[in-house]
Homo-oligomer: A and B are copies of this chain.
Amino acid sequence: MITAIVYGDGETTEYDDLASARAAAGTTWIHATEVTDAELDAIADEFDIHGLAIDDLGNDVRAKTEEFPDHTFVLLKTATLARGETTFREEVATSPVGIFLGDDWIVSVTTGAAPVVERVRRAVASGDERLLHRGADFTAYRIIDVVVDDYFDLLDRIEDEIEAIEEDVLETPDRATLERINSVRRELLSFRKQVWPAREAVGVLARGDPDEVDPDTEKYFRDVYDHLVQIADLTETYRDLVSGARDIYLNALSQSTNEVMKTLTVVATIFIPLTFVAGVYGMNFDPAASPYNMPELGWGYGYPAVLVVMALIAVAMAAHFRRRGYI
């Protein structure tokens, strides 16, 4: 679906025809969503857009800014988290937003529905002062700005997940925690793959390299660029946090093994010697055969004495373990 708007001097007119929209005085904005190949070709013809740029929209290409003789092509990606049964490639779902920026015209193309770009279009339609009085480059800035702002939402969701994992890891660490940790790690890897090229792409605009970017608008692109730097920073920092959480998780496991071992050790080392003592007096040496054969069995206080000895051994061992912090 193609919409053509021309605005200037605070007024907005909609056109049906690309050619007359382009010819009209003022800034021409062609916005094409869920576009067909035929529509793309029509736009490309009208605005002399290079075939490679059109191809890039269809293929899974990294964000970039490319300067052509009479226009500049900016390719960005919207990013949404696609949790659940996904492969790595699908972890962060992206959808291309192509912006072709000419002197007094701008063409924006999205292959899917792009609610974020729609927001800017509505701002123009409803007569947003700032947009109507500035050129095509400012409109490009607004579109790029909303796309990048969406990245913050995605990061917020990731941060929430990390906070949840950090609690989880301290309270109930289990196998599922590790899988959550790994899943966030993959999301961050996948997202970072989008952010770095986007940063470079916007950096070109922020430096004002393309002729189509007015020096007054550069500041705005610099602002978006600062946001992307911050996003890239946060991505790295979150990776660090995630690996911190993983360390705590792995440590909890070692700690658990250590405690299990302590339990076993305490119980076994207390009772094994006692059992041995009991075993000794369970031997069947014949006291009748010789006075040296287990005379204890015939003593009057033999049994209580053995019980007391056992109790002393047990208490001594327990005290020893308490001193070493096992119990």
> Which residues from chain A sit less than 8 Å from chain B, CB to CB?
50, 52, 56, 61-62, 64, 66, 87-89, 159, 162-163, 170, 175, 178-179, 182, 185-186, 189-190, 193, 196, 219-220, 222-223, 226, 229-230, 233, 237, 240-241, 244, 246-248, 250-251, 253-258, 260-265, 267-269, 271-276, 278-287, 289-290, 292-294, 296-304, 306-307, 310, 326
Contacts of A326 in B (CB 8 A): 260
Q: Is the CB of B289 within 8 A of A297?
A: yes
Measured between alpha carbons, how far is A62 from B301 in the docked complex, in Å? 81
Ordered by A's residue number, 15 sampled pairs between the chains whose C-beta atoms are within 8 Å are: A50-B219, A66-B219, A88-B163, A89-B159, A182-B248, A185-B244, A186-B241, A186-B244, A246-B247, A251-B253, A257-B261, A260-B261, A276-B278, A286-B297, A292-B300
A232 to chain B, nearest CB (A): 11
Contact check: which of B284, B287, B300 meets A290 at CB < 8 Å? B300
A185 to chain B, nearest CB (A): 6
Measured between alpha carbons, how far is A162 from B182 in the docked complex, in Å? 14
Q: A89-B159, A267-B269, A306-B283 are in contact. Are A223 and B52 (CB under 8 A)?
A: yes
Measured between alpha carbons, how far is A115 from B308 in the docked complex, in Å? 72
Contacts of A248 in B (CB 8 A): 178, 182
Q: A223-B52, A233-B193, A244-B186 are in contact. Are A276 and B283 (CB under 8 A)?
A: no
Question: Which residue of the partner chain B has the closest CB to A246?
Answer: B247
Main secondary structure of the interface of A (DSSP, over half): helix
Contacts of A185 in B (CB 8 A): 240, 244
Q: Is the CB of A271 within 8 A of B276?
A: yes
Contact check: which of B62, B226, B302 meets A230 at CB < 8 Å? B62
Chain B CB within 10 Å — which of A61, A179, A182, A296 has the most? A182
Contacts of A66 in B (CB 8 A): 219, 222
Q: A256-B258, A279-B278 are in contact. Are A241 and B189 (CB under 8 A)?
A: yes
Measured between alpha carbons, how far is A262 from B259 in the docked complex, in Å? 10
Measured between alpha carbons, how far is A62 from B267 in the docked complex, in Å? 58
